[in-house]
Structure 1
């Protein structure tokens, strides 16, 4: 029996919603007995949601999906502009500009696509059973 599932949390354009997304993600992974994914998934969800709220003016959504051996975290926002990885920064002291660097470092895979033409974009990343090595 496969244990596939999917949840979507729609959030307003409010920076406090990132913390609500993290707590929701933690509850979902705990309920589905995936505690090893909580910390990396919280980090990645925080970065994706923060980017969605920082670079747009509309609402956003956090989508979580377990399908077979992979777990996907994604964020939808209202801006169809492609995400870009900016020039490397000192991630130890930077307060911004590290989101997609962290996604690229911790996720097994990531990508994005536009939603319904120009109604926004969906940025996703996947975690497998092990994180990428340093």
Structure 2
């Protein structure tokens, strides 16, 4: 499939830590099928952090969303908790910490990241996303 075509995938996952591995492997397959293998390593790291946060810090279901458009890969995780994510701390402050590295890694590895609250059909939640631009 040509890289200039847009596409999007969603993977709905239960609140289960095993979903992190399923999400990572699914993302690898999607990117490989679309000829974007050069993005796989960083994309897997980013998806792992986003999905892990969604599963560990909320009680409901979650989803991984992957979108390719105009040379930009957007990876996002939806969860049912409308509370904003904890702001990432600088990586230097996390050297001894076992917790709180996720969004710091996302901020360090992605070109841009953000989050937005979501409300649909009476359901509330949030979507945390990041983007990687494909270098030519």
Is the TM value for this pair above 0.5?
yes
- Specify which of 51, 67, 78 is matched with residue 65 of structure 1: 67
SS of structure 2 residue aligned to 1:104 = helix
The residue that corresponds to 1:129 in the other structure is: 134
Segments of structure 1 that go 5 or more residues without pairing to the other structure are none
* Length-normalised TM-score, structure 2: 0.88
- Specify which of 103, 118, 121 is matched with residue 115 of structure 1: 118
Q: Contact 2:27–2:44 at 8 Å: present in 1 too?
A: yes
Aligned equivalents of 2:111 and 2:68: distance in 1?
14
**64-73 or 80-89, which moves further after superposition?**
80-89
Note the alpha carbon deviations across 1:75-122, whole angstroms, 9 max, x for none. Answer: 0001111112254311xx543210000000010011110111761000
Aligned equivalents of 1:5 and 1:95: distance in 2?
36
- Specify which of 96, 108, 115 is matched with residue 105 of structure 1: 108
Structure (1 or 2) with the greater strand fraction: 2
Segments of structure 2 that go 5 or more residues without pairing to the other structure are none
Name the Cα RMSD after superposition: 1.5
